[in-house]
Amino acid sequence: MAIKSSFVDVAERGTVNVFLLAGQSNMAGADAVIVDPPGFQPTAADRATRFTAAPLPAGNQSPLYLPWGELRGQPLKNELVHGPEIGFARVLHGAGWRNVCIIKVYANFNRDVVAWPWSNGGLFFDPWMRFIDGRIAEVQSQVWLVRVCGVLWHQGIDDAIHGSLAYQYSANLRDLIVQLRQRWATSTMPFVLARSVNSSIARAITGAGENSPMAAVRRAQVNVGRSVPYAAWIDVDDFPNVNSHHFCVASQLSIGVRFGLTFLKLHGDYDH
């Protein structure tokens, strides 16, 4: 991995801008299959951005772990896919951001979990933090300064399928935002979330009414996005779904663009 040589102005600025992406299958890019032709066509933004990804809790011990490299597709279920990171990185690059590194994790959990796995001390949280710390250490070994600039979040369907966790979603997500901001010592770090798809799978399992778990999660996501300072939510309901509640490559690109534009709106004057 050559981080320093990948950024032409690191010697002048001495700062790498890190973004943390996390969620479940739609953050992973499930079913957003990169097909040939034309396959993945890298742009200047893709070549300038550094990207690493892994499933939790295995992290860099997983065979799906993607070490630092140029922004590209990732292996998932014997296919090459990508999530919203592509569109997001291209928006940032177009807005003048440079020296961007993206650290992405993704995970699903079963209905038998007792505590929210993403909570501090939960099944995913500690492996997630170790993965981030390890990847940041790799960058810090080659550049002067790392700045964690923001978090993108696309998760919630598992909470609806679980049922009882759905009604704790608002409190859990608010606590997570606080934990992440405290960890990187900034109360204003932008947190942008995508409201979960109104999953037909979740509704078939736990119900489809206004008070159903899936509806509760979606309301909580909007409320958090609207009420937490320096947080926002994006709508993805207008994109067609594939395989029940996933997105194709074109939709993932557009979702990434929405993430990027929303981040820039939250902190349009952010020093970069």
**Torsion, CA 220, CA 225, CA 229, CA 230, rounded to 10:** 150
The pLDDT value recorded for residue 11 is 43
The pLDDT value recorded for residue 5 is 41
For 173-231, write each residue's pLDDT tens digit: 999 999 999 999 889 999 999 999 999 999 999 999 999 999 999 999 999 999 999 99
The pLDDT value recorded for residue 4 is 46
Strands 74-76 and 79-81 come out as antiparallel
Residues 6+ apart with CB under 8 A from 169: 156, 159, 216, 217, 220, 221
Query: Angle CA(121)–CA(62)–CA(113) in degrees, nearest 5?
Result: 35
- Of 123, 227, 239, 220, the closest CA to residue 172 belongs to 220
Q: Coil, helix or strand for 70?
A: strand
Biggest alpha carbon–alpha carbon distance for the chain: 56
For tokens 């594939």, what's the residue? 242
Residue 272 has pLDDT above 60, yes or no: no
Q: Are 254 and 245 in contact (CB under 8 A)?
A: no
- Of 206, 205, 209, 194, the closest CA to residue 239 belongs to 194
Structural domains of the chain sorted by starting position, each given as residue range(s) with its CATH number in brackets: 4-264 (3.40.50.1110)
For 23-82, write each residue's pLDDT tens digit: 999 999 999 999 865 678 899 999 999 999 999 999 999 999 999 999 999 999 889 999
Instruction: Give me the mean pLDDT over the 167-174 stretch.
Output: 98
Tell me the whole-structure pTM to 2 decimals: 0.93
Q: How confident is the model at residue 250 (pLDDT cuts 50, 70, 90)?
A: very high
Alpha carbons within 13 A on the beta-carbon side of 22: 21
Residue 106 has pLDDT above 70, yes or no: yes
Query: Quick count: other Cβ atoms within 10 Å of Cβ 63?
Result: 8
Gap between the Cα atoms of 25 and 37, Å rounded: 24
